[in-house]
């Protein structure tokens, strides 16, 4: 029996919640925007009216107000968005326990086994849509199909407050003419590669010989071919499922551009404190690190390297990332944002092959120091002990997580 998969996407979720909380905003052009003072001044979400006026997610606040002079901007209220996200999920769970989140405002539902109780997939989708509208006061667009990829595509095809069915008999006529960029997991870089090879639509992608795609994209080529040909067999995971942790990262947009290597080191060291703590919390060690940099021109670049031995140490991670920075980054632009990520994780208790030159002994000594520091922070707070090099202004937002000098601190 064919599966029946729904993908429910709350329309303009952040903006819809804001208009629900403040009825005076209804039927107006509204955008939820980041804080300009912390250099996060971009559009996070917009209402349908703002969208029609040309406001786009990711635009700078000033750009959004240029295209829509009567735009009303409001700051985000994440606690409210989390609350409504849980309320949405509670409704979904009344139809099936196979509910897999895809972000805060989107979920897949496998209702294959629910049809005997609630009717066809389209009937369930209509019931869900009407209940959310009447009970929560927001709208959703729902795609109904036989796999997750097409259900997601369906929810994007008609907005807002709509249902789109893509069945096994007629999906080719509706999906294959679409631009290839509409397919799930095909981002700008993959789209450019495909367009350079005259692959413009989903149908073009479906007809490319599989061996060609594998040559172009490796194992991802097989996934793209399967998606385009309707052969996605991935499951909708049960409620509460947590995917295995593959990486641990932390990034920040600095309050002013970094222009010196010393400032970059201090930001990397501060970010690595958080990464190391979370590795220890989850029982993982990193065998590699990745550095992400956004320049003042808003272009992004990433570099990564392997570590000699698996590590949880914030200092070891920071040192490896900084060496990577010195080797690879060219100061063409000042630096606006930095992200440090621990990658290729392994269980921290897994035995490792030590070397003959004392590095394992040194790492063990460092681990004892990190254990001691972690214990102090757990007892007295995250900023009860910090590296001396982090004293002073880190050019970071004052959001409570990056206070750098307080009475009673210990400096190491």
Per-residue pLDDT tens over the stretch 9-55 = 999 999 999 999 999 999 999 999 987 666 667 899 999 999 999 99
> Is residue 234 included in any domain, yes or no?
no
204/194 Cα distance (integer angstroms): 10
Angle CA 252–104–17, to nearest 5: 100
Domain that holds residue 345: 248-411
Residues of the chain above pLDDT 90, percent: 66
Active-site option among 18, 48, 100, 106: 106
Torsions phi, psi of 96, nearest 5?
-165, 155
263/257 Cα distance (integer angstroms): 10
Count: domains in the chain: 3
The predicted structure's pLDDT at residue 150: 97
| 206-260 pLDDT, tens digit each | 999 999 999 999 989 999 999 999 999 999 999 887 777 889 999 988 878 899 9
The predicted structure's pLDDT at residue 391: 66
> Is residue 240 included in any domain, yes or no?
no
Which of 260, 269, 311 is closest to 289 using CA atoms? 311
> Is residue 252 included in any domain, yes or no?
yes
The predicted structure's pLDDT at residue 12: 94
The reply to whether 106 belongs to the active site is yes
Question: The domain that contains 209 carries what CATH number?
Answer: 1.10.150.20
Q: Which DSSP string do the residues of 129-189 spell out, in sequence order? A: HHHHHHHTS--EEEEEESSHHHHHHHHHHS-SS-EEEE-TTTHHHHHTTSBGGGSTT--HH
The predicted structure's pLDDT at residue 40: 62
> Is residue 235 included in any domain, yes or no?
no
Residue 109's H or E segment, with its range, is strand 106-110
260-263 CB contacts, 8 Å cutoff, 24+ apart? 261/325, 261/326, 263/394, 263/395
Contact of 412 with 388, CB cutoff 8 Å: yes
The predicted structure's pLDDT at residue 370: 81
- Those residues of the chain that have pLDDT short of 50 are 394-412
> Is residue 295 included in any domain, yes or no?
yes
The predicted structure's pLDDT at residue 355: 65
């Amino acid at each position: 029996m064919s599966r029946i998969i729904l993908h429910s996407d709350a329309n303009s979720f952040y903006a819809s919640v804001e208009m629900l909380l403040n009825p005076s905003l209804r039927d107006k052009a509204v955008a939820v925007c980041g804080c300009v003072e912390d250099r996060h001044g971009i559009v996070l979400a917009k209402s349908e009216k703002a969208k029609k006026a040309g406001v786009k997610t990711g635009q700078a606040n000033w750009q959004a107000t240029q295209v829509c002079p009567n735009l009303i901007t409001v700051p985000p209220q994440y606690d409210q968005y989390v609350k409504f996200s849980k309320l949405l999920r509670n409704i979904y769970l009344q139809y099936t326990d196979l509910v897999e989140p895809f972000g805060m405002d989107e979920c897949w539902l496998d209702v294959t086994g629910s049809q005997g109780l609630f009717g066809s997939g389209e009937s369930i989708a209509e019931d869900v849509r009407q209940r959310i509208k009447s009970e929560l006061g927001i709208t959703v667009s729902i795609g109904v199909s036989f796999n997750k990829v097409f259900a997601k595509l369906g929810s994007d095809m008609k907005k807002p407050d709509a249902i789109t069915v893509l069945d096994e008999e007629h999906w080719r006529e509706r999906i294959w003419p679409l631009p290839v960029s509409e397919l799930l997991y095909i981002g700008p870089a993959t789209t450019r590669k495909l367009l350079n090879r005259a692959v413009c639509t989903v149908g073009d992608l479906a007809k490319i010989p599989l061996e060609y795609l594998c040559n172009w994209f490796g194992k991802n080529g097989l996934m793209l071919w399967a998606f385009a040909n309707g052969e996605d067999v991935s499951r909708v995971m049960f409620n509460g499922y947590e995917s295995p942790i593959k990486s641990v990262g932390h990034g920040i947009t600095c309050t002013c551009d970094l222009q010196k290597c010393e400032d970059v080191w201090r930001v990397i060291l501060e970010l690595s404190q958080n990464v190391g703590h979370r590795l220890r919390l989850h029982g993982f060690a990193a065998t590699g690190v990745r550095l992400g940099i956004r320049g003042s021109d808003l272009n992004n670049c990433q570099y990564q390297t392997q570590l000699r031995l698996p590590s949880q140490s914030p200092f070891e991670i920071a040192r490896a990332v900084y060496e990577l920075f010195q080797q690879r980054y060219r100061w063409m632009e000042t630096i606006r944002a930095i992200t440090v990520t621990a990658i290729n994780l392994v269980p921290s208790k897994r035995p490792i092959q030590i070397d003959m030159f004392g590095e394992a002994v040194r790492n063990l000594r460092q681990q004892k120091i990190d254990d001691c520091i972690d214990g102090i922070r757990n007892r007295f707070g995250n900023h009860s002990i910090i590296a001396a090099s982090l004293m002073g202004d880190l050019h970071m937002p004052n959001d409570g997580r990056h206070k750098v000098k307080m009475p009673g601190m210990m400096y190491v």
